[in-house]
Structure formats: structure tokens, C-alpha cells
Structure 1
Amino acid sequence: MIRNILGSLVALAGAASAVLSPFRDWYDGRAGRDYRVQDLFGGITATESGVLVSILLPFLGAAVLVIVGVVLRSRLVVALAGVVVLGFTILWMVRQGQAAGSLVVGGDGAGLQVGVANAAAGGVLMLIGALLMTGRGRRDRPVPEPYAAPAADQVDTWPPTQEPGMSVQTSPWPEPEVDPYVGPDPHDPRTRSYPQAPPPRGGPGDPRDPVHPPRRPPES
């Protein structure tokens, strides 16, 4: 947001400088509004020009582009306006150099003067403003929500709709954990194990049986 505001102010300042430049002297005391637009393509002449058909015309168009670009926050439109101003300024310098034989800069009012500097500075400020602006893409980019709330028709709905090939929980309570033990139930009386009882007392061969003592091998 701050970069858009700063870039817009710089671009508007450049547009103002470009529009005011034709009312300043450009070369040898001749104001920029005295140069016709058609002279930039056919050669500089001494013919005077009206204000609306002078070099002011493309500069006014560039200023309109800057205003549109600022309103739309379009860096491309603002940069295009700067290119238009610099392009016409350079084209004028080429034609003026052809007409005069050379371009000179003098401090006594001869040669290039302040009007050309205002036009060139205006075009550069427009380009700088376009670079400072962030445009619409970064500022208007939607921020993803960290959590999406359930729709109104899905609130307090149980059980949820089962889709083909998917299992769905039919109880609002969590499923009990399954015991991995697969042996017999230790609480079942039929499978409960007890200590092995001693064999019953008595019977043939039992040394404790007084009625049937164990047999001894015959002595040789």
C-alpha cells in the first residue's frame, strides 16, 4: 500500500513536469509549444505551431495515461507513459540536431535549455514511479484461511453420508480399541487353569498302599 502511494506520487510529479515543459524554452529561446508534432517526423521548421498541435499533445496523452495507471494501480500503463515522454523528447533532439547541425548546451540561453531537462526528468520520474508501485496482483491476492468452517447443511448431522467404497463411523463415540490378544478368555471358568492335583493314594504299585505293596524282584 505504501509503495503504491509513493510510486503514484512520483509518477504524478513526472507527469506534471512533462506537461509544463513545453511552456519552457527548449532551444535558443524557442519554447516547446512552438514545435509542431509533425515536425518531429518530417523535420524541424521555423513555422510556429498552435498549442494543441504542438509537442504538448503527446505529453498530455502521457499525463492521462499516468492518471489512469494510478487509478488502476497498473505499473504497465505508468511505464508506457514514461516511454512516450522520453521517446518524443529523444525524437525531438534528433530532429533538432539535424536542423541545427549539432546540439550544444550553453549557459547564455543558446543551445538546449531547461524545457528539455523538464521533459526528460518527467519521463524518468514516470518510470521510477512504475518501478516503485506494487500493482494490483500482490495487494489483492487472497489469503488462504487456516481453517474452513463446515457448511450450514453439515452442522449437527449424524451419521454422515457414506460415499461408495468408503467406511463411515456410525456412532458419535470413538471406536473401542481392539485387544491384540487372541488366546482363550482368562475369565472363562471353562478355560481357567488350576494347579495339578496329586494322583489318588492307593492302587497297585503305590509304595504308600499297605494292601498292595510293590513287588520285589526275586533274589538269585
Structure 2
Amino acid sequence: MATLRNAIGSLVALAGVVAVVWSPFRPWYGDRRGKDYLVVDLFRADGVTGDHARLTGSLFAPVLITALVTLMGLVLRSRLLVGLTGLVILALTVLWAVRQGQAAGSLTVGARGEGLNTGVATAAVGGAVLLLAALVMPGRRPRHADAFAPAPIPEPPPGAYDAAPEPPPGAYAPYSDPSSTRGGPGSYDDPQAPYDTQPLPSPPSATPPPWPAPPPDTR
């Protein structure tokens, strides 16, 4: 069950990574794509500017780093890393929306793509998918949990509990009652019986013999 959940969570996380990496190449606001925004514009008090950014200094840089951390989390089966990357993408999208609203005065969604566009939606969906993958994955089991796990009980070999075979005829001598077979073969009185069947000698009597009478007086 855990292996199946890991497989499903990994596939969901990979779908989120693809959406997140693809989002900077889609238009975010109007016709301006995500890779055209400077990363430093997210921390300006007056909002984003119209300066054109290079690829390494645009929103693509933090998105790429987040995607690599997500892949590392999948290799390590870490729910924490996958969940954190989803939160980072959502926080990045919200922060960009705040700075874009400060620069434009308001955020709009136009039917002709004049406002918020598909790139923002793709990034937000990718972050939500990463959070969903972190919930689906069971995570990696800690090693110390196996130290206290009970040892598996080995299964008995086939036929261990089958009925024991009966001994061949004559393997054991039949029991005979000594009281009913006095002097017969196999009894305690049989002189040819083995030593372990001979009766033990009677212990000496504990009563002392009588003292001899004194001789008669002939005087």
C-alpha cells in the first residue's frame, strides 16, 4: 500500500513540477511572460517595473530551484520537501500578484488577455498540485522504527504438523502387570529378566534383634 501511494504521489508531484517550470514561459499579465519579470521587483515597495529581465535573473530562476528541490524530495521520499516547494510556489505567485497590483493600480482579468493570464494560473495550479502530492505520499519510514519491530516468525516446513508415523510392530514390548503374571516372562520374579526389571532387595529392618538371655545361676 505504501509503495502504491509513493508511486501515485511521485506522478502527481512530477505533473506539478512540469506545470511550475512551464509557467514562466506563459504570459502572466497581458502579453508579458513570467521570465520577463525581475526577481528583485518582487521586493520593491512600489511594485514591479517594466525592465526586461534575463533568464537567470527572472522569475524562472526561483521556479527552477524549487523544481530541483522537489525532485530531490521525491528521491528521498520526503513529504516535507515536496510540501515546502508547493508553499514556495504559491507564496511566489501571491507576492507577484501583490507587486503587480501596486504597479498597475488594480488587478484585472480581461477576456482578451489584458489582465491576469494563463501563466499565473499555471503556477498556482502547479503549487497546489505539489501540496496534494505531499499529502498523498506516505513519506519515508524512520529507521529507528525497525529497531523495535518484532522479528518475523519463521513458517514451519511443510508437513511439520502431520501425524507422526506409527512405530513398526515389535518396536516396544507390551506392558505386563507383575501382580497377574508372577514368575512369568517379563515379571519381576523372572530370573532371566533384564536388570532394570529385577526387584530391588528389601532394606534391613530397623528393629534391633533381642538380647540373649543371661546364663542360669548354678550356685
TM superposition score category, shorter chain reference: 0.5 to 0.7
Which runs of 4 or more aligned residues in structure 1 lie more than 2 Å from their structure 2 counterparts after TM superposition?
A: 138-143
Aligned length in residues = 153
The SS at the match of 1:26 is strand
Match of 1:144 in 2: 150
Question: What are the Cα deviations for residues 194-220 of structure 1, in whole angstroms up to 9, with x where unaligned?
Answer: xxxxxxxxxxxxxxxxxxxxxxxxxxx
Q: TM-score, normalised by structure 1?
A: 0.65
Aligned match of 1:19: 21
Mapped to 1, the partners of 2:14 and 2:123 lie a distance apart of: 13
SS of 1:51's equivalent in the other structure is: coil
Distance in 2, Cα, partners of 1:76 & 1:146: 31
CA–CA distance in structure 1, aligned partners of residues 30 and 143 of structure 2: 48
Q: Which structure's CA Rg is the greater one?
A: 1
| In 2: Cα distance, 1:144 partner to 1:136 partner | 20
User: Is the partner of 2:28 in helix, strand or coil?
Assistant: strand
Which residue in the other structure is 2:52 paired with?
48
Q: Report how far residue 56 of structure 1 moved.
A: 0.7
Which residue does the alignment assign to 1:133? 137
Report % sequence identity: 51
Secondary structure of 1:137's aligned partner: coil
SS of 1:135's equivalent? coil
CA distance in 2, matches of 1:83, 1:4: 20
Match of 2:40 among 32, 38, 41: 38
Q: CA deviation at 1:89?
A: 0.5
Change (3 A) 1:65 1:140: farther
Determine if contact 1:58/1:84 at 8 Å carries over to the other structure: no
User: Unaligned regions of 5+ residues in structure 2, if any?
Assistant: 155-202, 206-219
Question: What do residues 52-108 of structure 1 show as CA deviations (whole Å, max 9, x unaligned)?
Answer: 110011111110111000000000000111111111110000000011111011121
Letter in 2 for 1:108: R
Deviates more, 1:130-139 or 1:37-46: 130-139
* Structure 1 residue aligned with 2:179: none
What is the alpha-carbon distance in structure 1 between the residues aligned to residue 89 and residue 71 of structure 2? 14
Task: After TM superposition, list the pairs within 5 Å mapping 1:18-97 onto structure 2.
Answer: 18-42=20-44, 43-97=47-101
Partner of 1:103: 107
Letter in 1 for 2:150: P
CA separation in 2, counterparts of 1:141 and 1:66?
26
Task: Give TM-score scaled by structure 2 length.
Answer: 0.65
